[in-house]
Structure 1
């Protein structure tokens, strides 16, 4: 009972810390990939020289602040960043090309292009005078989680730890849930042409080139994670209807990882129930911070 109370108090304290950025400096940064500008927000903790840093990678159709709601108006990553800063950890959250404030058209993005963007962000951090180039972690949400496994597995820059929030695990299966079998078949056959994919949940048209659908098969998170030996924190919702069934799929992914890892589960949806309240989000953020701090000392 005491442990539950202490955990609740810690979550409340860290969540309250997220409401203010008084302990952090927000810095707008940019770098180029293939002649296109990528924009990001670097959040630096006060009074910390070359702090450890976490690279945050957003999900499909998202932006660098990640998923927002009336309960989490600053977005999942926007809410987490000041909590990391309060604990002496910097964060860089970027807009992939074609999303948010970065250059490019969304229809031109692929999973591989996002991996390239993220690897370039690691290069930026490794040469930045603001953060430690020996203590860089990577964190991804949804499709950004799948991208994160590839970054951790392929990067020549050491990745200190890896955080995955409801990551894409079987990308073709997840996007079949999003677009349907017909949409996947037609999208994959589109080649270099733009295909007006229809998202089944809200019937929204999302133009994408056939290259995007092809890339869903070229990035296999289990194979990517097998190449990464550092610590992994995997957080999933057992009521996720996009990446499912859980926690079966999460356990299968972790079976490919030969390093230390933690599996965190709650009975919530793909967005950690942020459309209903911020309870799970404000529990997840301090648990993620705890994990990253623990990896720093390892």
Structure 2
């Protein structure tokens, strides 16, 4: 085990000991319909709060909501906020085909928000919490809606091309071919899949240094998640640019970025912050996955402080 992986493992074990008391919140399973498929999420309700605002959460590229998000949700609930983490169609317990397409997953977000509007256990406050690709989704949604009270973006993707930056010219051509192959094969029910993560010398959507170890550190031991995704995502990602809508966001936004992030460059998050009318940026010397482990306490404390100040 490398020193970096050992430190992550130790931080993970320490995090299990430091989690909020179980009696400080309650959980319930919440299902909702998205384009005919049932999506599933977990709602965390603080023990001593009436009609609390809700932090709505979903994972980044090809992740499931059990990959590191429970610890954040528990902390928010212990601080007096409801939290709702859900899985996109095709991921975790949710029904459907596991396609990572921005337009499709944004529809899942809209369906999740519509379901919360029908629940009497929570108040009207809505904060969108996203990490990596879902951080970009949170910005896109806030730009189109008037019922969002805040956004928390953790290493948010401001431009989908940044996720493919490590591929080089040959890798980008291979990605284009793989995406076209999947799109054509899908018409004949012969989808083409590629790895979600891999080492830098492997062809995978995420193959920047540290992506493999970082992603693996989030996957629970009991998970049946598979390291594969439909290749057509490689055609959709370069066209997704949530930073283009940043000027339309009217609610406050709190961004977290790592200066050592090899997946989402710090400069891209800084540019996103500059385009948002009301944004604050937490800059930390960390890699893409460190917010879940060695930097968790610092990151989540700042996020709770943002919620306290804005809600």
After TM superposition, the score normalised by the length of structure 1 is 0.81
Instruction: Provide runs of 4+ in structure 1 moved above 2 Å.
Output: 14-21, 175-180, 187-207, 212-215
- Greater shift, 83-92 or 265-274, is seen at 265-274
Equivalent residues of 1:138, 1:148 under 8 A apart? yes
Instruction: Give the alignment of 1:249-288 within 5 angstroms.
Output: 249-258=268-277, 260-272=278-290, 274=292, 278-288=293-303
- Cα 1:162–1:192 change in 2 (3 A) is farther
The equivalent of 2:257 in structure 1 is 236
Per-residue CA distance 1:122-175 (angstroms, 9 max, x = gap): 111122111112x100000111111111121123x5110000001112212313
Q: Tell me which of 245, 260, 263 is aligned to 1:224.
A: 245
The equivalent of 2:3 in structure 1 is none
Kindly tell me the number of residue pairs found equivalent between the two proteins.
264
Equivalent residues of 1:17, 1:86 under 8 A apart? no
The equivalent of 2:218 in structure 1 is none
Q: Tell me which of 101, 104, 124 is aligned to 1:110.
A: 101
Equivalent residues of 2:102, 2:236 under 8 A apart? yes
Equivalent residues of 1:15, 1:83 under 8 A apart? no
Equivalent residues of 1:241, 1:270 under 8 A apart? yes
Deviation at 1:225, TM superposition (A): 2.1
Deviation at 1:192, TM superposition (A): 4.7
Cα distance in 2 for partners of 1:178, 1:294 equals 41
Q: Tell me which of 171, 175, 196 is aligned to 2:160.
A: 171
The equivalent of 1:65 in structure 2 is 66
Cα distance in 1 for partners of 2:129, 2:33 equals 21
Equivalent residues of 1:192, 1:209 under 8 A apart? no
Cα distance in 1 for partners of 2:304, 2:97 equals 33
Q: For 2:140, what is the secondary structure of its paired residue?
A: helix
Instruction: Give the alignment of 1:123-272 within 5 angstroms.
Output: 123-133=114-124, 135-155=125-145, 158-177=147-166, 180-190=171-181, 191-193=183-185, 194-198=191-195, 199-201=197-199, 203=202, 206-210=228-232, 212-244=233-265, 246=266, 248-258=267-277, 260-272=278-290
Instruction: Name structure 2 gaps, 5 residues minimum.
Output: 1-14, 186-190, 205-226
The equivalent of 2:81 in structure 1 is 89
Deviation at 1:257, TM superposition (A): 0.9
Cα distance in 2 for partners of 1:15, 1:225 equals 36
The equivalent of 1:9 in structure 2 is none
Deviation at 1:216, TM superposition (A): 1.7
- Cα 1:109–1:243 change in 2 (3 A) is closer
After TM superposition, the score normalised by the length of structure 2 is 0.78
- Cα 1:112–1:192 change in 2 (3 A) is farther
- Greater shift, 43-52 or 183-192, is seen at 183-192
The equivalent of 1:45 in structure 2 is 46
Cα distance in 1 for partners of 2:248, 2:172 equals 31
Equivalent residues of 1:176, 1:184 under 8 A apart? no
Q: For 1:279, what is the secondary structure of its paired residue?
A: coil
Cα distance in 1 for partners of 2:252, 2:108 equals 23
